[in-house]
Chain A
Amino acid sequence: GENVEQHPSTLSVQEGDSAVIKCTYSDSASNYFPWYKQELGKRPQLIIDIRSNVGEKKDQRIAVTLNKTAKHFSLHITETQPEDSAVYFCADTTGGGNKLTFGTGTQLKVEL
């Protein structure tokens, strides 16, 4: 089955610095790549997504890049703030459906 690897598992940055989280996937048919932010005890919240026909997408401080050849995609957060502290998950959907496979998660801590 599909496998999504995510690195790093934990990331600590100073407020104002940038944070980068990387994921790789195995299924070349994957065509949709969302990123979720999850706070403790809460539901995952979609923060940005990208489709396979696009290489990069940006929304204010958040950007996602996709390299289909290498089968990896990355989340970039600039000017990090303490409220960015949470667990971030990448995911993808494979084939013609919309079943999500999640990465293992990254605990981001933004320190003052």
Chain B
Amino acid sequence: GAVVSQHPSWVICKSGTSVKIECRSLDFQATTMFWYRQFPKQSLMLMATSNEGSKATYEQGVEKDKFLINHASLTLSTLTVTSAHPEDSSFYICSAPQGGSSSNEQFFGPGTRLTVL
């Protein structure tokens, strides 16, 4: 199957700082990538859809100015958590469909554990 990587795997930062998380499709091109957030013992909640060459689409209740998404190439999407606060501490996971918007199967990155002190 297709491989998606994330970097970093974990990060600890101080409150008020910004953190960038990278999601890469290693062996396929991804015009669309998805960003999820998962709090402990909860489900994955879709935050936004990252679209190569255009603006991201955010889910209701997700602040687009706080969670900046850039899909600069067909293999890379980045999520920047700006002015992070302790309540942003979570497990952030990206995914990408191998066949573009017409494909159903998602390939998930390994996740990034963010801890905001």
**Which A residues lie at the B interface, using CB under 8 A?**
1, 31-32, 34, 41-46, 49, 51, 89, 93, 97-105
CA A102 – CA B44 in complex, angstroms?
6
Known A1-B60, A43-B108, A104-B43; contact A98-B97, beta-carbon cutoff 8 A: yes
* New A-B contacts (6) at CB < 8 Å, excluding given A102-B44, A102-B45: A41-B91, A46-B106, A93-B104, A98-B102, A100-B95, A104-B42
On chain A, the residues within 8 Å of B42 by CB distance are 104-105
Q: Is the CB of B103 within 8 A of A98?
A: yes
Provide the B61-77 mask, 1 if CB < 8 A to any CB of A, else 0.
00000000000000000
Tally B residues with Cβ within 8 Å of A.
24
Q: What's the minimum C-beta distance from B22 to chain A, rounded to whole angstroms?
A: 15
The 13 listed contacts between A and B (C-beta, < 8 Å) are A43-B93, A44-B44, A44-B93, A44-B108, A89-B43, A97-B101, A98-B97, A98-B104, A99-B46, A100-B46, A100-B106, A104-B43, A105-B42
Contact partner of B105 (CB less than 8 A), chosen from A46, A89, A99, is: A46
Chain A minimum-CB-distance residue to B1 = A46
CA A1 – CA B91 in complex, angstroms?
23
Contact partner of A42 (CB less than 8 A), chosen from B44, B60, B110, is: B110
On chain A, the residues within 8 Å of B60 by CB distance are 1
Contact partner of A100 (CB less than 8 A), chosen from B34, B101, B110, is: B34
On chain B, the residues within 8 Å of A101 by CB distance are 46
Q: Is the CB of B111 within 8 A of A99?
A: no
Q: What's the minimum C-beta distance from A94 to chain B, rounded to whole angstroms?
A: 11
